Structure 1
Amino acid sequence: MDERWKHVLRQRIRELGRRYEEARHAYWEGKEDAERERDRSGAKRYDLPADEDGNARLVCRRYAERRPVPVDRKGRPACFEPDHPDCEGCREDIRDGTVETYDDRTSTTH
């Protein structure tokens, strides 16, 4: 094989490699976006009041403040810290349907 054909073949292989990496990157990026979107749907799954972005309107047990946060499919708010008693209690309350929530006017126990 002469040098010209080797050069053309190397260029083609590099181009195929770049396209493969672009497709691979797009696949993983799309998969992560889908997982994030699925995780955001926790407010709907646990029948919690949500804002326009789909974040659950929870009253934080740890800091005693109103907080709109995404809730994952396992019932953990985004602010969840493992092994913290208030966070563990909040997660259990979300799963049991007894978590304190709020709307624009008041706090309620859901």
Structure 2
Amino acid sequence: MEDRLERLVRQKFREAGRKYAQARDAYREGREESGGGESASGAVPPSLPRDEAGRVRLVCRRDADKRTVHVGDDGHPECFEAGHPDCEGCVEDVRDGIVETW
């Protein structure tokens, strides 16, 4: 009985590992196709929506509100507060092009 249980557990782990690898590969492929990778210069990806003045439309992680902000060449929005975990995460998302927008 233990052998059957051990085989079943191993089989399920292998199956889960294959599914994880497929999901990981599909995620990477999707990011490459959408151009969602970080740009070499750290500039804002052109895929982010902007208003008429060229400001990026994003949803603030810290205050959970919609806003339009200028983003500098370094990829930091004008509302950025150094050391704040939500702001640090927002900068990473802006550079990756995956920030929540409206």
Q: Which structure features the higher share of helix residues?
A: 1
> Equivalents in 1 of 2:51, 2:96: separation in Å?
21
1:62 aligns with 2:66: no
Larger radius of gyration: 1
> Equivalents in 2 of 1:59, 1:53: separation in Å?
17
Q: Which residue of 2 aligns with 1:96?
A: 96
SS of match in other structure, 1:57? strand
Give the aligned residue type for 2:85: P
Q: Which residue of 1 aligns with 2:53?
A: 53
Query: Structure 1 runs of 4+ off > 6 angstroms?
Result: none
CA positional deviation for 1:73: 1.0
Structure 1: stretches of 5+ with no match in the other structure? 1-41, 103-110
Aligned residues: 59
> Equivalents in 2 of 1:100, 1:91: separation in Å?
12
CA contact (8 A) 1:57 1:69 kept: yes
RMSD of aligned residue pairs (Cα, Å): 1.1
Residues 1-110 of structure 1 correspond to what in structure 2 (within 5 A)? 45-47=44-46, 48-102=48-102
CA positional deviation for 1:46: 1.6
> Equivalents in 1 of 2:87, 2:62: separation in Å?
7
CA contact (8 A) 1:46 1:97 kept: yes
Q: Which structure features the higher share of strand residues?
A: 1
> Equivalents in 2 of 1:46, 1:79: separation in Å?
18
- Percent sequence identity over matched residues? 59
CA positional deviation for 1:98: 1.1
> Equivalents in 2 of 1:64, 1:73: separation in Å?
24
- TM-score, normalised via structure 1 length: 0.51
- TM-score, normalised via structure 2 length: 0.55
